[in-house]
Amino acid sequence: MEKATETQTTAMLPKQKRQVARKPVLTRIASGILYLALLILAVVQILPLIWLFLFSLKNNQEVFNLAPLSLPAEPKWENYVKVWTEGNISMYFFNSVWITAVSVILTVLIASFVTFAITRMKWKLSKLVLGLFMVAMMIPVHSTLIPLFSFFTSIHLMNHPLAIILTYTAFNLPITMMILLGFYYTLPREIEEAAIMDGCSIHRLFFRIILPITTPVLATTAIINMIYNWNEYVFVNTFISSDKYKTLTVGINNFIGQYSIDWGAIGATLMISILPILFAFFVLSNRIVEGITSGSVKG
């Protein structure tokens, strides 16, 4: 009986070895298919940027007569000089930079204050306040245009950048808080208890301990807010009428004339407008992934 069992075991060994040998091959095939799919996806994502760059170096005749991805006969680098100087794009660019920066800082800071108060402090109305902020996410943003227009007119903030900053801050608070909540709930209470035992006040606890710990998730919320603020068009077009405070998204309209459109200049403007977003994403990409995943696992 024992000999029969040994014979069966010996017969099964080659079969198991063959199965083990097949696994690395299947793994390599699956990895190859995955990398191929990711490569195709990357090419599809990069092609519009390449097209836009080539588009920005062409004149109107080349835009309509040449293939979309064809090289221009003579690169029109002067399109970039033209939009930066004659088209006031430099003013619109710096308006977009400082309005976006102020709005992002205010949004992240206020959202951190509220999230800290809701998750780390005990008070009766904390759940009600959190519910109000979450309900605000269900309100369509542009359905508030008329009420906001009336409100800003009554307090004399029309055609003032503060109207844009307040609007961006208010509408970005709920999503920013939602991202911060998952991270704040995972913070160990022992850190705060030790700080308080050492005589740390609530303000120093937040600014010197909690805020630095939440840097990864703050980077995530900052880049999300920056993308929205930088690309927003409707609020700026509604609340701002003076060229002095217009941003890039609205300033592009200056190249759309009554009888002709300078398509090359529009392409150069669009290329300039996406460069800060691309730069910020590449610089903060690791922080973004870290911030998204940091609050997903507790412990």
Average pLDDT estimate for 42-65: 86
The top-scoring range by mean pLDDT among 37-51, 57-71, 192-206, 245-259 is 37-51
**Bridge partner list, 256:** 261
Among 22-36, 149-163, 177-191, 276-290, the least confident range? 276-290
Among 46-50, 284-288, 295-299, the least confident range? 295-299
Q: What is the mean pLDDT of the chain?
A: 82
> Alpha helices of 86-160 — where are they, by DSSP H?
89-120, 126-135, 145-154
Residue 293 has pLDDT above 80, yes or no: no
Angstrom distance (rounded) from CA 293 to CA 186: 12
Task: Please give the structure tokens belonging to residue 234.
Answer: 């409707």
How far from the centroid of its chain's Cα atoms is residue 207's Cα? 24
* pLDDT value, residue 125: 85
The top-scoring range by mean pLDDT among 104-113, 126-135, 250-259 is 104-113
Residue 260 has pLDDT above 50, yes or no: yes
Global pTM reads 0.78
Check the CA dihedral 6-10-16-21 and report its sign: positive
* pLDDT value, residue 153: 93
125 φ/ψ angles, rounded to the nearest 5 degrees:
-95, 15
* pLDDT value, residue 286: 67
Helix 215-231 and helix 89-120: axis angle, to 10°? 140
Residue 298 has pLDDT above 50, yes or no: no
Average pLDDT estimate for 186-199: 84
* pLDDT value, residue 297: 47
pLDDT above 70: percentage of residues in the chain: 84
Task: Please give the structure tokens belonging to residue 196.
Answer: 């308080």
Q: Which residue has the higher pLDDT, 249 or 23?
A: 249
* Span 220-251, pLDDT tens digits: 898 889 989 998 989 999 999 888 898 988 87
* pLDDT value, residue 160: 92
Task: Please give the structure tokens belonging to residue 257.
Answer: 């004339």
Q: Are 54 and 264 in contact (CB under 8 A)?
A: no
The closest alpha carbon to 87, from 256, 272, 255, belongs to 255
* pLDDT value, residue 259: 45
Q: Are 109 and 177 in contact (CB under 8 A)?
A: no
